[in-house]
Homo-oligomer: A and B are copies of this chain.
Amino acid sequence: MTKEDWKKYSDVDGECAVRNVLDRLGDKWSMLVIIVLGVEGTLRFNKLHQVIGDISQKMLTVTLKSLEADGLVSRTVYPEIPPRVEYALTERGASLLPHMEGLAEWAATHMEGIYASREKYIGS
Residues on A close to B: CB < 8 A?
Answer: 1, 3, 6, 9-12, 14, 17-23, 26-28, 31-32, 35-36, 39-40, 51-54, 65, 68-71, 92, 95-96, 98-99, 101-108, 110-111, 113-118, 121, 123
Interface SS majority for chain A? helix
Count of identical protomers in the assembly: 2
Q: Name the residue on B nearest A19 (C-beta).
A: B32
Q: How far is the CB of A94 from chain B (nearest CB, A)?
A: 12
Q: A6-B36, A22-B103, A26-B28 are in contact. List 6 more A-B contacts (CB 8 A).
A: A17-B108, A17-B115, A18-B107, A22-B107, A98-B102, A99-B99
* Contact between A52 and B123, CB atoms less than 8 A apart: no
A27: chain B residues at CB < 8 Å are 26
Q: A92: nearest residue on chain B (CB-CB)? A: B110
Contact, CB under 8 Å: A51 / B10: yes
Give the complex CA separation of A52 and B16 in angstroms.
Answer: 12
Instruction: Tell me whether A6 and B21 are in contact in the complex, defined as CB-CB below 8 angstroms, given that A69-B117, A70-B118, A113-B71 are known contacts.
Output: no
